[in-house]
Every structure is written in C-alpha cells, then in structure tokens.
Amino acid sequence: MKPESRKEEIIKAAAILFKEKGYSAVTMRDLAKAMGIKAASLYNHIQSKQEILSTIIIDLAEEFTTGMNQIVNCDKNATKKIEHIIDLHIDVTLRNSDGLASLNNDWMHLEEKNLQYFEKMRHDYEENFRNIVKKGVDQEEIKPFNIEIMVFSTLSTLRTLYLWYPKQKNIDADLLKHDMISVLLKGVI
Amino acid sequence: MKPESRKEEIIKAAAILFKEKGYSAVTMRDLAKAMGIKAASLYNHIQSKQEILSTIIIDLAEEFTTGMNQIVNCDKNATKKIEHIIDLHIDVTLRNSDGLASLNNDWMHLEEKNLQYFEKMRHDYEENFRNIVKKGVDQEEIKPFNIEIMVFSTLSTLRTLYLWYPKQKNIDADLLKHDMISVLLKGVI
DNA sequence: GTCTATAGTAGGATAGAC
DNA sequence: GTCTATCCTACTATAGAC
C-alpha cells in the first residue's frame, strides 16, 4: 500500500505487457486499457513510449552495474564473488522479473544515447565477470575450461531466470540460491 | 551456390532482421530493402509476414522434436542422453542461428493454430528433458538437486547459444561440444 | 518477377474541453 | 487526471501494368 505515483504504475503495467509481447508489439492503447484509461491520458504522466522503455531498462542496468562494482571491489576469492553474482541476479529477479524481459529482449529499441549507455554498462559487466573467472582460473580455484564458455553459460542461466522463476510456485529464495550455486559451480553429475 | 528458391532467400533474410529487431519491429519494407526489391514484390513469393514467421519457427521446432524423440528412444544412460541433447542444440545453432532468435523470442506472435502446435512441441520437449534428468537422479547418475533448476539451467544455456556462438570467431564445433558438456555437467569448480 | 499506386488500418502523439 | 477528437505517419497487403 505504498503511495506509488501514477507514472510508476504505468511503468509497471508496461513492463508486464512488454514481457508478454515485446516493446514493439505493445501499443499505447494496449497500455491504456491495462490501466483502465484512454491512451491520450497516459501522456499526462509520461513523455513518450520510449521514455517508459528507457526507464525500465536503464534503472535495471544501473542496479546490476552497482551490484557488480561492489562485488569487484570486495575482498573475496573468485568462487565467493561468483556466488555473489548469482545472489545479485536472483535478488533483482525477485524484485522486478517483468522489467528483466525488456532488459534482455528490447534493449535494441532504446534510442541512440541510452543505447550507447546501456551497451557500455553491459560490456563492462561482462568484462568484470570474465576477469573474475580468469583470476579464479589463474589461482586454480576454477577449472581451466574456455573462459567464454564458462561466463556465457552462467550468464545465460542467470539472465533467463526471469522467465522461469515466476512459474515455480513452491520454491524458497534461499533454497533457489543454494541450489543454483551448486548446479552452476559444481555441476549436476 | 545451391539453387535456393526466392522464397527461401526471403525467409533467410527475414530471420536475420527478426534476430536484430524482433518480428514486430521489422517491416515488409525493411525486408524488401534487404532483398533489393520493393515490398509489394515480396508477395509474389510469400503469402504474408506471418507465413514467414511460422515457417522459421515451426521448421526449427520440428527439428528439435525429431531430435529429442531419437534421444528419448535410444538405449543410453541419462548422462549420454543429456550429452546428445547438448549436441543437438549445438548442431542446430551452427546450421541456423538466425532462426533460433525467432524461435526463442517471437513465438508469441504466431497465429492461433501454429501457436498451439508450437506450445505443445515445446512442452513435450521440456517434459522429455525433465524425465531424462529424473531417471538419471533415480539411478544415481545425477546429483539429487531440484530437477527444475537443473533442467532450466541447462536449457537456458543451450537456448541462448545462438546469441553467443556467432561472436566466437575461433572456436571449433567439437571443442565447443566438449567444453559445453564439461561445464554443464561437471561444473566449473 | 518486379514495378507503381493505393486501399484500408492502426500506430504515437497533441489540442483543448471538462 | 481523464476525456473526445484528430493529425500525421507508417504499416500490411492488393490490383494491375510491364
């Protein structure tokens, strides 16, 4: 029952629709209908459809960037850092799984300036991840497989959590974290 | 230099554009420009934009269904079956990575009949995968973690290969298969 | 097999009343 | 804060000439 602004309500409703059909296939009329108002009324609260998308995506990307910076700067070994990254993804997914659909699938529809900003954040995030894994390999904590395959495999799973988590009804967040860490780091056989 | 029909050329060009921007954001004018002709000319070869999408998606889904059926019916243990599934995904990705973008992200834009057909194939595929993992756990080949987490984690990585593989220039298919099997099954630490 | 022309519809967004 | 009315543009698709 927190006093959510109308703008925030619109953005939340939009994130749900973007998740279902993608940014391009959702019309302002669809969004208005979901809010129970007419399309023209939306423009009293937001400037454009594009503004909704960039708010959803940039806020989330900054959240990941902040989280990753803390992990990079903490004084832990590679394995612990990767565990923190898994935690970060699970926490963000629990808080805003709808928005993650746009982050994953609709970032290419950002306009020039935000697109560049987003791509830089994503690149830096992946680079930080890669460096953590590399250091883990150097220090013989992590097996010497292809770095890209290990990073890609872990990130793919974490980035797709938003699709899967809402379908799991009886799973506790801490259990999910624990099992995810086990599966991703220690394997299934 | 195989004698590819104009229709096949159009579908391949469409798959590339759908991968870049998604089905809804690609216009028939975009597609025509990519083919070096006018939009109206496309309709001499295809019936509708929808037909292009369903051809891309249904063909791929049937390919996965056929592959999975062979794996289910083969006489191997769970670990070997999962290795075959990894092979299947890598093979399909190498052959048609563009089309996989539509399979993963634009299936919801299929029209009623094909949507139902697709959803049944996807459901059966996941169910087959789940049963293989379950049997592996029962026979103590696979660790007794949450089945859904193991299936989801593996499938997420395999389904996202299409995004990642084209960026890796110097990786051999067999090396990829080998390392992917190691990472997904045996873990990184 | 491709073109021009165009029909018919639906999209994002604005103006101005209430 | 929401409405009706509407502008302008862009979309899919068709008709018919070449």
CA of A4 to C1' of D1 (A): 15
* Residue B2, pLDDT score: 61
Number of domains, chain B? 1
The band of B170, judged by pLDDT with boundaries at 50, 70 and 90, is: confident
Give the contacts of B36 (CB within 8 A, at least 6 positions apart).
none
Chain A residues close to B165, C-beta within 8 Å: none
Is some CB atom of chain B closer than 8 A to the CB atom of A169? Answer: no
The band of A4, judged by pLDDT with boundaries at 50, 70 and 90, is: confident
The answer to whether A31 and A14 are in contact (CB under 8 A) is: yes
Place of tokens 């609709």: A106
Judge residue B36's burial from the number of C-beta atoms within 10 Å of its C-beta, 0-12 exposed, 13-18 middle, 19 or more buried.
exposed
> What is the domain range of residue A88?
48-186
- CATH code at position A151: 1.10.357.10
Give domain status of residue B164, yes or no: yes
Whether pLDDT at A2 is above 70: no
Give domain status of residue A137, yes or no: yes
* Residue A59, pLDDT score: 98
Instruction: Give the per-residue SS3 of A119-186.
Output: HHHHHHHHHHHHHHHHHHHHCCCCCCCCHHHHHHHHHHHHHHHHHHHHHCCCCCHHHHHHHHHHHHHH
Nearest CA in chain B to A154: B157
- Point out the residue nearest to C15 (C-alpha to C1'): A40
Give domain status of residue A60, yes or no: yes
The better pLDDT of the pair B13, A3 is held by: B13
The answer to whether A12 and A102 are in contact (CB under 8 A) is: no
Nearest CA in chain A to B133: A188
CA of B65 to C1' of C12 (A): 41
* Residue A114, pLDDT score: 98
- Point out the residue nearest to D10 (C-alpha to C1'): B27
pLDDT digits (tens, 9 = 90+) for A10-64: 999 999 999 999 999 999 999 999 999 999 999 999 999 999 999 999 999 999 9
Is some CB atom of chain A closer than 8 A to the CB atom of B109? Answer: yes
Question: Is B185 within 8 Å of A180 when comparing Cβ atoms?
Answer: no
Q: What is the number of other CB atoms lying within 10 angstroms of the CB of residue B169? A: 5
What type of residue is A188? Answer: V
For B37, half-sphere exposure in the C-beta direction (CA atoms, 13 angstrom radius) is 13
Give domain status of residue A30, yes or no: no
| DSSP 8-state assignment for residue A76 | -
What type of residue is B88? Answer: L
Nearest CA in chain B to A108: B21
Q: How far apart are the first and last CA of chain A?
A: 46
Give domain status of residue A117, yes or no: yes
- Which residues lie near nucleic chain C, judged by CB under 7 A? A 26-29, 39-40, 43, 47-50; B 6, 32, 37-41, 44-45
Give domain status of residue B17, yes or no: no
Question: Is B25 within 8 Å of A156 when comparing Cβ atoms?
Answer: no
Tokens linked to B56: 């891309």
Give domain status of residue A31, yes or no: no
Give domain status of residue B110, yes or no: yes
Chain B residues close to A24, C-beta within 8 Å: 21-22, 24-25
Round to whole Å and give the CA distance between B74 and B115. 29
Nearest CA in chain B to A83: B189
Is some CB atom of chain A closer than 8 A to the CB atom of B179? Answer: yes
Q: Is B36 left (phi over 0), alpha (psi -120 to 50) or beta?
A: left
pLDDT digits (tens, 9 = 90+) for A64-90: 999 999 999 999 999 999 999 999 999
pLDDT digits (tens, 9 = 90+) for B45-96: 999 999 999 999 999 999 999 999 999 999 999 999 999 999 999 999 999 9
pTM assigned to the model = 0.97
CA of A110 to C1' of C3 (A): 35
Chain B residues close to A134, C-beta within 8 Å: none
Round to whole Å and give the CA distance between A102 and A15. 7
Chain B residues close to A106, C-beta within 8 Å: 22
